[in-house]
Structure 1
Amino acid sequence: MLTAAAVAVAIAVVSMASWLLVRERLYQDVHDNLAAAPRAPMTPLDRGQLYCGTTPAEALANVPAGAGDRLGAQKYDFQFVLTDGTVCLTGDATRAIQVVPGDDTPLARNNQALYRSGHYVDSDDHAQVRLTNTSVLLPGGIRQPAVLLTALPTKGVQNSLSSLALLMTGVAGLGVIGAGVAGRIVARSALRPVDQLSDAVEHIARTEEVGTTIPVNGNDEIARLSTSFNSMSTALANSRERQTRLIADAGHELRTPLTSLRTNVDLLIRSDAQGRALPPETRARMLGNMKAQMQELTLLIGDLLQLSRPDTPNPEAVRTVVPFHETVERALERGRLRGPALVFVTEVNPWYVHGDPAALERAVINLLDNAVKYSPPSGTVDVRLRAGRLTVRDHGPGIPADELPFVFDRFWRSPSSRQLPGSGLGLSIVAQTVQDTGGQVSLGPAADGGPGTQAVMVLPGQPDDPR
């Protein structure tokens, strides 16, 4: 519709301008013909007696019938207007002219020819009239000033202009219709990806089946929009898949301690109900197991809350300048308490980063916990912080190469370590914290090729306090 309207306006402007130019040209040709017209007789003796009246119609009525047949039809029509307004026609006149009133005096001004529109009194035909000054010699030898009206009919010009207007109207109509049809075809072709996008969005809104994509063709704005939609849909599908997997894994991890707790509680209740008290040692062992399972549940729920944050950095998180070397020192103190028989070889240099202090400390503690957990008795744990690069290396059994791609997945645990305590969320928390801080973390074999695993955390920062 907009294309058709724009074309209609353009065609209307061009057509109107063309019609006005043609009209001006045709009427200029009429004026040129009038300027080339021979001068009318100046005495009544040349073409017979002058017949006058107060109006053109009265003057024409005074012309005798058949008087003009003597000389045949004339191209031009002549008419005189005297100073007192009297209208006079020659004897060969067959038509009288009524000039459209203007702001001019009966005599042409400054002896210059004037052009006026007029019409014939005995018909509806229009004419162009040239007004020039002259004089006539009336009977009795009296010469009197007069205005000579020389007229040419404009019926042919008007017919040509009407035909041209009709032709332009038809062409304009066809142009508008053609533009509308072409615009509709082009619009439907160009907006087909938008229709597909709308259908995909409505399908997702109706069925909640994220991951639906649409084909992308070209590299224009519509293609970019389709690509963005496909990326968004894929991201939503991945997010839902991660959410579903997190819920399933969390339920699986929670089921084991809850089942153990329920079994112990049922056993205690049954023994009290039957009046058969358990031996003190058995009862104490069961209560200890219940306490350990409650602690495991508490840690698991804390880890789940930590991972409930979005994968992208949270702009509302408390981010400040953190003396990371102090964070590492505090984590080492807790690591020594958890592995009192281990030897910690440390080298911690000053380093300041921007991040969440609590999250960074927990990430370092998780790396140290893994090193303590998998180190042999009386083993060594190497911890070094140099220029923002933290390395934690143990001398344990290491991680098989085929399992390294999965170490940062949520709830993933190596088959060889399923019997050890833990939820499989520690390294996931480390990866998320490092990502939020703008750093990188990796886990692999020891750099020197010896036994054990080496974790490397690189955080952007500086060795001096920026505050």
Structure 2
Amino acid sequence: MLTAAAVAVAIAVVSVASWLLVREKLYQEVHDSLDKAYQQEGLGPGRQLYCGSTPEAALAKVPPVPDDHFGPPKYDYQVVTADGSVCFPMGATKAVVVRTGDLPSGAPGSKTATYRAGNYLNGDSALIRRTATSVRSGTVEQRATLLTALPTSGVEESLKSLALLMAGVAGLGVIGAGVAGRVVARSALKPVDHLTGVVEHIARTEEVGTTIPVHGQDEIARLSTSFNSMSTALANSRERQTRLIADAGHELRTPLTSLRTNVDLLIRSDAQGRALPPETRARMLGNMKAQMQELTLLIGDLLQLSRPDTPNREAVRTVVPFHETVGRALERGRLRGPSLVFDADVRPWYVHGDPAALERAVINLLDNAVKYSPPAGTIEVRLQGGRLTVRDHGPGIPAEELPYVFDRFWRSPSSRQLPGSGLGLSIVAQTVQDAGGQVSLGPAPDGGPGAQAVIVLPGQPEEPR
């Protein structure tokens, strides 16, 4: 519709302008023809005139054209005197309607001519040229106005035909433009219709991950590619969310079941009046405390994993003296492994990130090393040039388990009996990724016992100014 409207306006402007130009040209030719008739032909001196008080009376006195004449004159001449009399030359057959402005007003022989539109007595239109002249009646010469008329009915008919032709062409142009615009629009917007259908399908069925085929490299193709990327990202996000909920539910079920069992046993013993032995009761309360601590740790880890999805996570990014963060984590690690030896070499390094999250990540690595180190073992910690290594001398990690160490809730089959939620290394990987770094975990580089974790963070050895 917009295309048809634009074409209609353009055709209308061009058509009207063309019609006005043609009209001006045709009437200019009539003007030139009347000027030429006056200059070349006119009435001529001594040409006999037949006068009357009215045009009808004067025409009645005009004799017919002789047989040897070439035919009626091309132009119609009519003289109007000052007293209102009308005169015609021989051969005149038509008279124009006289108006008040046709009465003589200028000096005879004046070259100034005026033009007006008028009509013949029979109603036909004409263009009339008015020129000052004089006529002799007996011995008296009086002022008069020469009216030279030329029919314009042919011009008007031509203009009407041209207007009809242009209207028809304009109508066909508008219809053609509308049809072409609709075809082009439907062809161009077909991918958008397809995309809209897919979006409506996802909104109706919530089946994220649905994609559409991409053709070409235009804006529609880019929009389709962006939509496919968004749909795939949503599907992956939903899959991760579902897996996290399922894994969290599975991990929460074990401590909750143990807590419920112990609480039921305590309630039943009190209800039956059969008190448990003090050592049994103390052991059950200790187990319940341990289960509560495990639940607290698990919930804290889940909250830590959910922090990267919060809108304000960029607000906590700042310049962090990473060497000080590692130092604080070492102090806490020594408290958790008092029998272990911590061999540390920490050098200054400043990074951009979340201070609390980075400290939690380093503590998780140290906790992992403390957990698997043998009694009186050594944990080596090095921070040099933005590369942090934490190496223990424990049993190490089998090669087949290395691809899964950073998965959420994944725990080695050989360490299921040890405390933990399986989220510590996932938190480390997420924190390092948010800080723009890399993390890896593998066997000791010298081939000895134990495992080594490596964190590489971008930064600089001096504090930014």
TM-score by length of 1: 0.90
**What CA distance in whole angstroms lies between the structure 2 residues aligned with 1:406 and 1:133?**
114
Aligned equivalent of 2:41: 39
Aligned equivalent of 1:64: 60
Q: Which amino acid aligns with 2:376?
A: S
| C-alpha RMSD of the superposition | 2.6
Aligned equivalent of 2:181: 183
Q: Is this contact kept in 2: 1:85–1:106, CA < 8 A?
A: no
Q: Is this contact kept in 2: 1:137–1:144, CA < 8 A?
A: yes
**What CA distance in whole angstroms lies between the structure 2 residues aligned with 1:458 and 1:100?**
106
Structure 1 pair 414–141 and aligned structure 2 pair: CA distance change class (3 A): farther
Aligned equivalent of 2:324: 326
Structure 1 pair 184–98 and aligned structure 2 pair: CA distance change class (3 A): same
Q: Is this contact kept in 1: 2:97–2:119, CA < 8 A?
A: yes
User: What SS does structure 1 have at the residue aligned with 2:408?
Assistant: coil
Which consecutive residues of structure 2, in runs of 5 or more, have no partner in the other structure? none
Aligned equivalent of 2:429: 431
CA shift for structure 1 position 272: 3.1
Aligned equivalent of 1:193: 191
CA shift for structure 1 position 9: 0.8
Aligned length: 459
**What CA distance in whole angstroms lies between the structure 1 residues aligned with 2:389 and 2:218?**
48
Q: Which amino acid aligns with 1:212?
A: T
CA shift for structure 1 position 223: 1.9
**What CA distance in whole angstroms lies between the structure 1 residues aligned with 2:81 and 2:261?**
134
Structure 1 pair 234–141 and aligned structure 2 pair: CA distance change class (3 A): same
Q: Is this contact kept in 2: 1:97–1:118, CA < 8 A?
A: yes
- 1:240-294, Cα deviation, whole Å (9 max, x unpaired): 1111111111100000111111122222233333344333332222221111111
CA shift for structure 1 position 166: 0.5
User: What SS does structure 2 have at the residue aligned with 1:412?
Assistant: coil
User: What SS does structure 1 have at the residue aligned with 2:286?
Assistant: helix
**What CA distance in whole angstroms lies between the structure 2 residues aligned with 1:375 and 1:150?**
126
Aligned equivalent of 2:345: 347
User: What SS does structure 1 have at the residue aligned with 2:464?
Assistant: coil
Aligned equivalent of 2:89: 90
Aligned equivalent of 1:20: 20
Q: Which amino acid aligns with 1:39?
A: E
User: What SS does structure 1 have at the residue aligned with 2:345?
Assistant: strand
Structure 1 pair 241–391 and aligned structure 2 pair: CA distance change class (3 A): same
Q: Is this contact kept in 2: 1:117–1:128, CA < 8 A?
A: yes
**What CA distance in whole angstroms lies between the structure 2 residues aligned with 1:132 and 1:382?**
122
User: What SS does structure 2 have at the residue aligned with 1:395?
Assistant: coil
Q: Is this contact kept in 1: 2:134–2:145, CA < 8 A?
A: yes
**What CA distance in whole angstroms lies between the structure 1 residues aligned with 2:438 and 2:103?**
96
**What CA distance in whole angstroms lies between the structure 2 residues aligned with 1:52 and 1:90?**
12
Q: Which amino acid aligns with 2:117?
A: S
Q: Which amino acid aligns with 2:26?
A: L
Aligned equivalent of 1:274: 272
CA shift for structure 1 position 311: 4.2
Aligned equivalent of 1:262: 260
**What CA distance in whole angstroms lies between the structure 1 residues aligned with 2:181 and 2:104?**
58
Structure 1 pair 398–99 and aligned structure 2 pair: CA distance change class (3 A): farther
CA shift for structure 1 position 5: 0.6
CA shift for structure 1 position 3: 0.4
Structure 1 pair 357–99 and aligned structure 2 pair: CA distance change class (3 A): farther
Q: Is this contact kept in 2: 1:366–1:426, CA < 8 A?
A: yes
Structure 1 pair 383–130 and aligned structure 2 pair: CA distance change class (3 A): same
Aligned equivalent of 2:75: 76
Give the 5 Å matches for 1:296-311: 296-311=294-309
**What CA distance in whole angstroms lies between the structure 1 residues aligned with 2:62 and 2:89?**
13
- 1:136-175, Cα deviation, whole Å (9 max, x unpaired): 232x133333332211111111111111110110010000
Structure 1 pair 411–453 and aligned structure 2 pair: CA distance change class (3 A): same
CA shift for structure 1 position 316: 5.7
CA shift for structure 1 position 90: 2.7
CA shift for structure 1 position 388: 1.9
Aligned equivalent of 2:29: 29
Moved more, 97-106 or 310-319: 97-106
Q: Is this contact kept in 2: 1:312–1:436, CA < 8 A?
A: no
Give the 5 Å matches for 1:238-257: 238-257=236-255
Runs of at least 4 residues off by over 6 Å? 99-105
Q: Is this contact kept in 2: 1:411–1:423, CA < 8 A?
A: yes
CA shift for structure 1 position 420: 2.0
Structure 1 pair 403–131 and aligned structure 2 pair: CA distance change class (3 A): farther
Aligned equivalent of 2:129: 130
CA shift for structure 1 position 179: 0.5
Q: Is this contact kept in 1: 2:369–2:379, CA < 8 A?
A: yes
Q: Which amino acid aligns with 2:43?
A: P
**What CA distance in whole angstroms lies between the structure 1 residues aligned with 2:99 and 2:415?**
113
Matched, 1:121 2:117: no
**What CA distance in whole angstroms lies between the structure 1 residues aligned with 2:191 and 2:357?**
45
CA shift for structure 1 position 101: 7.7
Q: Is this contact kept in 1: 2:105–2:132, CA < 8 A?
A: no
**What CA distance in whole angstroms lies between the structure 2 residues aligned with 1:350 and 1:254?**
40
